[in-house]
Amino acid sequence: METLKLKRVAIDTYKENVAYLHRDCSVYRSEGFQALSKIEVFPHDDGHPVVAVLNVVDDESITSPGEIGLSEQVFEQLGIAEETEVCVRYASPPQSIKNVHKKIAGERLNDEQYLQITEDIVANRYSKIEIAAFLVACAESGMEREEVLSLTRAMVDTGERMDWGEKLVADKHCIGGIPGNRTTMLVVPIVAAHGLLMPKTSSRAITSPAGTADTMEVIANVELPMDKMRDIVKHQRACLAWGGTAKLAPVDDILISVERPLSMDSPGQMIASILSKKVAAGATHLIVDIPVGKTAKVRSSRDAMELRKLFEYVGDRMGLHLEVIITDGHEPIGRGVGPMLEARDVMQVLENDPQAPLDLREKSLQLAGRILEFDTDVRGGDGYRLARDILESGRALDKFHAIAQAQGLNQQPVQAGKLNRDIVAQTSGKVEAIDNFQIARIARLAGAPMTKGAGVDLFKKTGDTVKKGEPLYRIYAEYPSEFHFAKEAAANHSAYQIGK
Amino acid sequence: METLKLKRVAIDTYKENVAYLHRDCSVYRSEGFQALSKIEVFPHDDGHPVVAVLNVVDDESITSPGEIGLSEQVFEQLGIAEETEVCVRYASPPQSIKNVHKKIAGERLNDEQYLQITEDIVANRYSKIEIAAFLVACAESGMEREEVLSLTRAMVDTGERMDWGEKLVADKHCIGGIPGNRTTMLVVPIVAAHGLLMPKTSSRAITSPAGTADTMEVIANVELPMDKMRDIVKHQRACLAWGGTAKLAPVDDILISVERPLSMDSPGQMIASILSKKVAAGATHLIVDIPVGKTAKVRSSRDAMELRKLFEYVGDRMGLHLEVIITDGHEPIGRGVGPMLEARDVMQVLENDPQAPLDLREKSLQLAGRILEFDTDVRGGDGYRLARDILESGRALDKFHAIAQAQGLNQQPVQAGKLNRDIVAQTSGKVEAIDNFQIARIARLAGAPMTKGAGVDLFKKTGDTVKKGEPLYRIYAEYPSEFHFAKEAAANHSAYQIGK
């Protein structure tokens, strides 16, 4: 088989693998490739191949006819030196794509079929449109609970798995949808200060203006190599890291890279994503927070109950001690919405600042209390009081500082976005409701979570009285175009409902 | 707003718009872009923008920090000179994506919502994963017949529309699935020789080893500018062109570019695709051929009837005179499968060659006969005989030559693939069935339709007796890797069922 010289093309194509062949390349012509064909590139000694989408080049300075160019990501995946001779061939379509077609036709898939899909995804054999097809197929016909279990198992089995060597490894998760709900950054130091093990890995935000990882990143590094994370957990009993770097359930990160631009987040995918990460991270005990409210992800107690049952079904079979708590999700928690503003709220609570948002403090204490009660030495009902003592004594703050320092403090302090605008009440009265979706949307348009200092800072919450012209919240943005979109959205619908 | 110098980057990204910005470009940094962000590029005088996915460049020779690079396709869409100063901004998410999310949630969309989607698609505001999400959402929950009508209308309204200035403009369409079924190339010259107007535009193959456009291209040019097509039809009463170049229902071609790699072809999408092209092409009278068989696309008369009703419902409301004919689809038609081999069969029929495949001849005469009866001067029941007279007299052959010559003969005659292998019977007996899917699959693996000379040539049809070791068919391929895949597939399952 003919070979080509490997070339690194200095183009960053993110999670999309791209290869470049010159139009006059003899391999390109003799194999009958087309632009956007999927090809496999492999070392001559028949090592592990990489799969990439083909772009055809008409400029020899990018890739010459005797070369195969790879974008930065693919080049790293292949992991061999430039100028090495490599072979190229058509990538056979991934075997498991037939399972996706079955799912589109409304069929139910089994353990093996989900495993085949995740194996092909983790080997980069799926293009982004094939991943999109899989996600939409699952979202639309829904997944049987047995299927959610199959996908969860498959996602765990196609990645690395941590073992902490302890009987109780605590974790918590909120299904999201409530802006400002940064309880994790409070629960972790409280629980770790008590002595329970809580090595927390969080995703970045998918459709929200900030995730725990995005917010923690304002204060400290969250991208930790496995060794370093283990070391921190050994000394601190906890960490606040981003799961993506840790090779845990790697399929989850690939799925999220397509879910994010599609703004998708279906129940089956959500539960598989959450539980696979938890199990792979070695969690044994898990609290799941499901906020319910008119503008939350879950709108009725009936839906919350269905979701709870599904969590319990999958969790039990994955060997987790899992408890679901259904919470109030009728408005944002705390004041800040966006990574930097939420980090500020968290620090106020940890510092027992009188200005600290009470709702964030209260909810965090309740969740931490439930986790503390996983400890057989804690009497049922004593968890909340214990958590409050740890917070008020400053031990939680000390623990948080120790964790952040161990992870590496962020050397470039984040400022609130330099552009800002107050949104004011159009009438006087009492705040009756705050639309979670709209607040999240405005914060995202303003640039959160990518721009750390962007977001929304709430001055009024439900039950507060306001006068016409009084500020309801402030929008922060860094870049003019984002500032413009956010202001436009707020002008159309402020998110506040004000009654007499 | 800051401007950048436009640069054409000599990379062919096919239907995916890609823009390149250097990592040190001040606009890239100040706007907070990310790789794979969607951006809009527009001339400084605020002309029509193009939307592209962003790749980040680390090599100044590809794109320098003061430049914005565009792949060949995007550069042409923008249509302005290199070095022109242009502006770049975040592309707002397409408004109509909310309709796609509704469809994923199982809702029914209306006229306006489908129009919004097609308008955004035609303006290149959808990424390929967003298009995939739309297609899978429609395929899975299915579309109400009112929705198919909405989508058909929207696809017509977002493109150009032809008017031939005559009351009877004939067309035909087969829903596909039957390899070798190249009746169109026979029906058109017969009908045109009689004097009816039949300006035929066909798609290329989506999931089959050859479409009419792919096959006609073996003999003549099919990519005709609108002017030339009009001129040919004026003089010849017909043409055999490819619809994609003609700006008719352009959304269809974009959808197909995603359907093809996903191997998707759902009923609602199919009918919208077919009828929008027909209406946009100015057809007034249409015959639709639905083959039914165990290995055809439609497997039962009940399914065929449902499809017929849907065609009639949409066709009537689009103002078409539409008739559906349900035909026998239990095995391939003719002998050749693949563009060049099918073109050979067609020419044998036109030339009244005694070797010509009888089933192809017979079916073409029946379809042509039904179209001839659209002519008010032709007595009901006389169409078939009239069609046969036109074929046997050589008038159909003359007409075909005239059309091919007018379109421009292919100067490079296509040869059968240089690699070939006979697949032989494993037992003696009578051919009971030939699997259409498997024959199509083998022909596609061999390289059809991209490689014109690739495909399968059938020596035996249903009812023939064979001896053990006697050849059933021959595989033709041009490239070793494709030849290998095709032989492997044939070895696993020959597609022939042989009984005693």
Give the C-alpha separation, A310 to A461, whole Å: 33
pLDDT, position A177: 87
What is the assigned CATH class of domain B419-499?
Answer: alpha beta
- Does residue B168 have a pLDDT over 70? yes
| Range scoring the smallest mean pLDDT among A143-152, B322-331, B387-396, B475-484 | B475-484
Average pLDDT, chain B: 92
Q: In the CATH scheme, what architecture does the domain A170-247+278-407 have?
A: 3-Layer(aba) Sandwich (3.40)
Residue of B15, B97, B140 with shortest CB distance to A137: B140
Give the H/E segment covering residue B404: helix B395-407
Measured CA distances, B92 to A209, A482, B96 (Å) = 17, 10, 11
In this prediction, residues A412-437 reach a mean pLDDT of 95
Give pLDDT tens digits for B318-346.
999 999 999 999 999 999 999 999 999 99
Amino acid at B451: T
pLDDT confidence tier of residue A38, bands split at 50, 70 and 90: confident
ipTM metric: 0.75
Name the CA radius of gyration of chain B, rounded.
Answer: 25
**Averaged pLDDT, A221-249:** 86
Give me the catalytic one of B157, B253, B265, B435. Answer: B265
Instruction: Give contacts of A481 with chain B, Cβ < 8 Å.
Output: 31, 89-90
| Dihedral sign of CA atoms B91, B96, B100, B101 in order | positive
- Confidence class for position A178, pLDDT limits 50, 70, 90: very high
Q: Give the residue range(s) of CATH 2.40.40.20 domains in chain A.
A: 4-90
- Put simply, the answer to whether B11 touches A127 (Cβ < 8 Å) is no
The CATH number given to B97-157 is 1.20.970.10
In chain A, % of residues over pLDDT 90: 72
Q: What is the pLDDT of residue A262?
A: 83
Q: What is the pLDDT of residue A45?
A: 67
**Boundaries of CATH 1.20.970.10 in chain B?**
97-157
pLDDT of residue B1: 59
Task: Assess B82–A contact: CB distance below 8 Å, yes or no.
Answer: no
Q: Using CB atoms, which residue from B132, B447, B482 is nearest to A129?
A: B132
Determine phi and psi for A499, rounding to 5 degrees.
Answer: -110, 180
Q: Which of A464-478, B249-263, B315-329 has the lowest mean pLDDT?
A: B249-263
> What pLDDT, on the 0 to 100 scale, is given for residue B30?
63
Per CATH, is A4-90 categorized as 3.10.450.50?
no
Query: Looking at residues A425-450, what average pLDDT do you find?
Result: 94
Mean pLDDT of A391-399: 98
Q: Which residues contact B131 (CB under 8 A, 6 or more apart)?
A: A129, B121, B254, B255, B258
Dump pLDDT digits (tens) for A52-63.
988 999 999 999
Confidence class of residue A119 from pLDDT cuts 50, 70 and 90? very high
- Distance from the Cα of B280 to chain A's closest Cα (Å) equals 29
Which residues of chain A does B264 touch, with a Cβ-Cβ cutoff of 8 Å?
104, 133
Q: State yes or no: pLDDT of B23 exceeds 70.
A: yes
Among B residues 423-482, those touching chain A with beta carbons less than 8 Å apart: 447, 450-451, 478-479, 481-482
Reading across the β-sheet that carries A285-292, which strands appear in turn? A170-174, A285-292, A321-328
* The two structure tokens encoding residue A131: 């991943």
Q: Which residues of A touch B89 (CB under 8 A)?
A: 481
Report whether pLDDT(B54) > 80. yes
pLDDT of residue B240: 94
- Residue B300's Cβ-side half-sphere holds a number of Cα atoms within 13 Å equal to 3
Q: What percent of chain B has pLDDT over 90?
A: 71
Q: What percent of chain A has pLDDT over 70?
A: 97
CA A84 vs CA A20, A43, A59, A398: distances in Å = 16, 8, 21, 52
Binned at pLDDT 50, 70 and 90, residue A30 comes out as: low
Q: Which residue has the tokens 């987040």?
A: A265
At residue B258, the pLDDT reads 85
Query: How far is C-alpha B120 from the geometric centre of its chain's CA atoms?
Result: 22
Distances from the Cα of A60 to the Cα of A198, A257, A400, B24, angstroms: 54, 32, 54, 24
Contact residues, chain B, for A104 at CB < 8 Å = 136, 139-140, 264
Q: Cite the residue boundaries of each domain of chain B with CATH code 3.90.1170.30.
A: 419-499
Kindly tell me if the per-residue pLDDT of B275 is higher than 90. yes
Tell me whether residue B422 is one of the annotated catalytic residues.
no
Which DSSP letter does residue B300 get? S
CATH tag for B170-266+277-407 (out of 3.30.1360.170, 1.10.3720.10, 3.40.50.11270, 3.40.1030.10):
3.40.1030.10
- Beta strands in A360-464, from DSSP E residues, in sequence order: 419-424, 429-434, 455-458
Partner A contacted by B129 (CB < 8 A): yes
Q: Are B399 and B233 in contact (CB under 8 A)?
A: no
Location of each CATH 3.40.1030.10 domain in chain A: 170-247+278-407
Q: What are the C-alpha distances in Å from A52 to residues A176, A202, A252, B183?
A: 34, 29, 20, 38
**Does B136 contact chain A (CB < 8 Å)?**
yes
Q: What is the pLDDT of residue A23?
A: 87
Amino acid at B368: A
DSSP designation for B55: E
Q: Which residue of the set A157, A171, A253, A265 is catalytic? A: A265
Q: Which two tokens stand for residue A268?
A: 């089956």
